Amino acid sequence: MDLSKLNKILKGEPPYRQQQVNQAVFIDLVTDWDEVKTLPQKLRKVLQDNCPLEINADIFHSQDKKTSKALITLEDGNKIETVLMQHEGERHTVCVSSQVGCSLACTFCATGRLGLKRNLTADEIVEQVLLWNRVLKQLGAKDRVTNVVYMGMGEPFLNYTAVLKSIRLLNDKQGFNIGARKISVSTSGIAPKIKKFAEEKMQINLALSLHAPNDELRSKLMPINTHFPLSEVMKAVDFYIEKTNRKVMCEYLMIAEVNDSLEQAEELAKLLQGKLVMVNLIAYNPTNAYRPAKSKNIKAFKDYLTKQGLEVSQRFTFGQDIKAACGQLALEN
């Protein structure tokens, strides 16, 4: 499926055709143009021949059925992964990929080992959400995708234009109508793009993959830190907060004997003191390179940060049995 072809096909058609197509594709979630009886048969045939609605995907469900992973084969044969997490209370969060592979080679991340193949287009990002909406419809779920996080394969800010365009499409009232506040973009710390993002005047959430409290360790875990050291990244975060007055989520993977000591908690508290941030401690999912921190160490780390007045949450792992957890995408493909 290649949604970008739609605009070309609909050029020259009256404007209400676009609305009919949007209704069919994004709201009614049709998978065959023949079902769209509001369109003339001739146009349906052109659409069927030039823009079939099939998404080529293999879908895997975790044993507890709460997490699903899809391996999508794109038109050019490249493959990407996307994840659906179904939470209590009909909240459905989709984690989307923004690139095929990733150039940043974070040492704890399976995607990073692939290298970058190419950027995704805005339509290819939106198609990931479309796929999950179709799955939810098939499963008989009451609601559709409610939240989207850009935390899958790739660094979103290295594909900035397409990512922003995809956010606008997801946000579009005539399409999925997902509120900006329900969309989060996670970056490894591309400082100039954090500043640019601050100027976008959209209410999208920003998450920063921090994972270390100092440059020495962070550069070992995330080589991008040698280009944008912590001082520069934190300045960009300050700028973002000043401009938007929005809280930034700092993500911190808890890796045994690497970044989980009390000294490191102390350093982290100093780094973040006084900033409008929240720390999210994430249980590490093994990808061969490291081991997860022990729960008693995570607790001590969390307690220390909380005592220092920081807001801290803890994300438990899910989808590990289908390799859909953080840092595991692309491990088997």
104 binds ligand SF4 (CB under 6 A): yes
- Rounded to whole angstroms, the Cα distance separating 293 from 96 reads 26
Nearest to 101 by CA among 155, 59, 55: 155
Q: Which lies closer to ligand SF4 via its Cβ, residue 189 or residue 213?
A: 189
| Candidates 149-157, 199-207, 244-252, 302-310; binding stretch for ligand SF4 (CB under 6 A) | 149-157
Residue type, position 2, single letter: D
The residues annotated as belonging to the active site are 81, 326
Site for ligand SF4 in 239-268 (CB under 6 A): none
Token pair in block for residue 132: 């999950």
Coil, helix or strand at residue 93: strand
Q: Which lies closer to ligand SF4 via its Cβ, residue 147 or residue 159?
A: 159
Q: Which lies closer to ligand SF4 via its Cβ, residue 86 or residue 187?
A: 187
102 binds ligand SF4 (CB under 6 A): yes
How is 206-271 classified by DSSP, letter by letter? EEEE---SSHHHHHHH-GGGGTS-HHHHHHHHHHHHHHH--PEEEEEEEBTTTT-SHHHHHHHHHH
325 binds ligand SF4 (CB under 6 A): no
Token pair in block for residue 120: 């995704």
Smallest gap from residue 227 Cβ to ligand SF4 (A): 12
Q: Which lies closer to ligand SF4 via its Cβ, residue 156 or residue 213?
A: 156
- Rounded to whole angstroms, the Cα distance separating 217 from 259 reads 8
Angle at 152 between CA 147 and CA 158, to 5 degrees: 105
39 binds ligand SF4 (CB under 6 A): no
Measuring CA to CA, how many Å separate 69 from each of 90, 146, 237?
18, 17, 31
- Rounded to whole angstroms, the Cα distance separating 218 from 14 reads 54
Question: Considering only residues 111, 121, 147, 287, which one is a binding residue for ligand SF4 as defined by CB under 6 A?
Answer: 111
106 binds ligand SF4 (CB under 6 A): yes
| Candidates 3-11, 34-42, 152-160, 168-176; binding stretch for ligand SF4 (CB under 6 A) | 152-160
Q: In this structure, are strands 248-254 and 205-209 parallel, antiparallel, or unpaired?
A: parallel
Sorted by sequence, the CB contacts under 8 Å of residue 78 that are 6+ apart come out as 100, 117, 118
Token pair in block for residue 177: 């109508």
Smallest gap from residue 209 Cβ to ligand SF4 (A): 6
Write out the E strands in 17-128. Answer: 57-61, 67-73, 79-87, 91-95, 99-102, 115-119
Smallest gap from residue 129 Cβ to ligand SF4 (A): 19
Smallest gap from residue 80 Cβ to ligand SF4 (A): 12
156 binds ligand SF4 (CB under 6 A): no
109 binds ligand SF4 (CB under 6 A): yes
Smallest gap from residue 201 Cβ to ligand SF4 (A): 26
Question: Considering only residues 10, 80, 95, 112, which one is a binding residue for ligand SF4 as defined by CB under 6 A?
Answer: 112
Helical ranges in 98-201 per DSSP H: 122-138, 160-171, 191-198
Smallest gap from residue 298 Cβ to ligand SF4 (A): 20
Nearest residue to ligand SF4 by CB is: 112
51 binds ligand SF4 (CB under 6 A): no
153 binds ligand SF4 (CB under 6 A): yes
Q: Which lies closer to ligand SF4 via its Cβ, residue 135 or residue 151?
A: 151
Please report which helix (H) or strand (E) contains residue 147, including its range: strand 147-150
Site for ligand SF4 in 178-217 (CB under 6 A): 188
The residue ranges that bind ligand SF4 (CB under 6 A) are: 102, 104-106, 109, 111-112, 153-155, 188
